[in-house]
Amino acid sequence: MNNNSFFITTPIYYVNDHPHIGHAYTSIACDVLARFNRLKNNKTMFLTGTDEHGLKIEQAAKKNKMNTKEFVDQMSIGFKNLTKILNLSNDFFVRTTEEYHKKASRHIWNILKKNNQIYLDKYKGWYSVSDEAYFNDNEITIDKVTKKKIAPSGNEVEWVEEESYFFKLSEWQEKLLDFYKKNPDFIGPKSRKNEVIKFVESGLNDLSISRTTFSWGIEVPDDKKHVMYVWLDALINYLSAIGYPNKKYKDYWPANLHIVGKDILRFHAVYWPAFLLAADIEPPKRIFAHGWWTNEGKKISKSIGNVINPNEIIKEYGLDTLRFFLLKEVPFGNDGDFSKKSLETRINNDLANDLGNLVQRILTIINKNFDGKINKINNLKDNDKELYYLPEKILIEIEENYNKQEFHKVIENIWKLISKANKYVDENAPWELIKNEKNRAEDVLNILIIIIAKISILLFPIMPEVSENILNKIGLTIKNLSMNDIGKDNFLNLSFKIKKPEIIFQKIE
């Protein structure tokens, strides 16, 4: 792998249903990290896509009275559109029904077989179609209302008995535990890591990796009766999308980060590294599991009818506002509650008051008093330096927080800079200086423009449109900038031509 390459992935989304806020959440988080890495000039690969095989999808197509292939083609477009709606900077969109993906999956299957990791037997046990997962007897309970047997997810299970190929997962228990020990950052956050380790310590059974009672899947090599278990098929997307089995996949592999929801951590942190180690492929560097959103305090579910459509929120409040809210409102890894009231509070306080006001008042003063033109700085005074050199310190903190996927702390870091800038404005009162010390006023305003530029660069991964708009107002564009511009004396010798400000964030009454 290239040393400064950065490969980040979302889970691939099931096409049985339309995109909702949960999908948007994971995708936005990945996008932020991808954009940050690009601004650091890392060779970045951001992957998302759709998971299109398995019984759940076949049943959804039937329910919609559609041919399965036509159904997945149509539903996949909805997720492709989501990448546009969310302004995602993904470099590729993988689909598991594409030929390159099927080829890569069969290739892995053959390696596992050659490595004596697969055998034929009979599966007898519980299966949840909604989770596309197998369950042991001791994981099944009875739903109080429906009286049906359910998995820990609350989804119904059915009894399955069929011929199946098995993967020798049980052989990997010790090796996985050893792998977690040697790679302490493999699973985040820490609380989830402990859960995974406990699960593995409790013992691993061999895993059924093929099905025979339906056909919507990738055919098992040399045995047409079987299709591959959809999770094996799906996980392989992370390799097929970057060219595997062609050696060029090593340009990006091992992936730096798979971001997933807490419900699918086991597949990524247990099965996936076991499959990979068994196929002599290096596991990814890190898996991070985020929490789940509720809607105004209630579990989001189709049957309750309270699914949040990201499109509607964006139409009402704007995309960058949604991106900001999702990452600021709860620490990544925790569950969070989506409420319009808290979204509106964030808009009024963090965005309109803190950031909006800073930009608005500085741009307005410059336009009113200097006709939009600010000459280069004459003299950096001691009491300017604290603010002037703050961005580079903030960047160090930001980077540490991104490395731990602590997005809310990154935002706190940026807001520390914004509030210091607002304080500097109040203390130096440029509107007073203009009266008798115009040169000093110009220096103060220039320093503030530089800080606003740096705030915009730091904020760009999270709020790309807002940041680019602000940069444009001061005659800059992100296309010519990078995180290197946060450094010490960048922009010091620049004069600026400032455009008239417009209100960036409208307060909500």
How many residues line the site for ligand MSP (CB under 6 A)? 19
In the complex with ligand MSP, the residue whose CB is nearer, 23 or 226, is: 23
Residue by residue, DSSP assigns 220-267 as: ETTEEEEEE-HHHHHHTHHHHTTTTTSGGGGGTPSPSEEEEEGGGHHI
> Which one, 25 or 324, has the nearer CB to ligand MSP?
25
Taking CB atoms, the residue at the shortest distance from ligand MSP is: 261
Determine the Cα–Cα distance for residues 101 and 20; give it in Å rounded to an integer: 25
Residues numbered 238-277 forming contacts with ligand MSP, rule: CB under 6 A: 260-261, 263-264
Q: Is residue 31 near ligand MSP by the rule CB under 6 A? A: no
**What is the distance between the alpha carbons of residues 362 and 468, in angstroms, rounded to a whole number?**
17
In the range 178-237, which residues lie near ligand MSP by CB under 6 A? 234-235, 237
The whole-angstrom separation of Cα 80 and Cα 292 is 22
Q: Does 76 bind ligand MSP (CB under 6 A)?
A: no
Reduce the DSSP state of residue 34 to 3 states and report it.
Answer: helix
**11 binding ligand MSP? (CB under 6 A):** yes
**Could you tell me which residues come within 8 angstroms of residue 179 by beta carbon, excluding any fewer than 6 positions away?**
186, 273, 277, 283
Binding of residue 505 to ligand MSP (CB under 6 A): no
387 binds ligand MSP (CB under 6 A): no
Nearer to ligand MSP by C-beta: 12 or 414? 12
Cis-peptide, bond into residue 254, ω within 30° of zero: yes
Q: Which of 255, 250, 252 is nearest to 285 (CA)?
A: 255
Confirm or reject binding of residue 151 to ligand MSP (CB under 6 A).
no
Q: Is 22 in the site for ligand MSP (CB under 6 A)?
A: yes
Site string for ligand MSP, 289-318 (x = CB under 6 A): ---xx------x------------------
What is the closest distance, in whole angstroms, from the C-beta atom of residue 299 to ligand MSP in the complex? 8
Residues 35-64 contacting ligand MSP, CB under 6 A: 51
- Strand (E) positions, 11-79? 13-14, 43-51
Strand order in the sheet with 298-299: 298-299, 293-295, 336-338
**CA distance readout (Å), 465 to 43, 133, 362:** 22, 40, 20
Is residue 23 within the footprint of ligand MSP (CB under 6 A)?
A: yes
Alpha carbons 232 and 225: distance in angstroms, whole number = 17
Amino acid letter, residue 421: A
26 binds ligand MSP (CB under 6 A): yes
What phi, psi does 174 have (nearest 5°)?
A: -65, -40
In the complex with ligand MSP, which residue's Cβ is closer, 275 or 370? Answer: 275
Bond before 221 cis per omega within 30 degrees: no
Which segment (19-27, 64-72, 197-205, 446-454) binds ligand MSP by CB under 6 A? 19-27
CB closer to ligand MSP out of 301 and 419: 301
Could you tell me if 422 and 349 are in contact, meaning their C-beta atoms sit under 8 angstroms apart?
A: no
- The residue among 241 and 486 lying less far from ligand MSP, judged by its C-beta, is 241
Which stretch, 12-20, 166-174, 318-326, 482-490, contacts ligand MSP (CB under 6 A)? 12-20
The least distance separating ligand MSP from the CB of residue 158, rounded to whole angstroms, comes to 19
Would you mind telling me the total number of residues written for the chain in this entry? 509
If the CB atoms of residues 48 and 210 are measured against ligand MSP, the closer one turns out to be: 48
98 binds ligand MSP (CB under 6 A): no
Chain positions contacting ligand MSP, by CB under 6 A = 11-14, 22-23, 25-26, 51, 234-235, 237, 260-261, 263-264, 292-293, 300
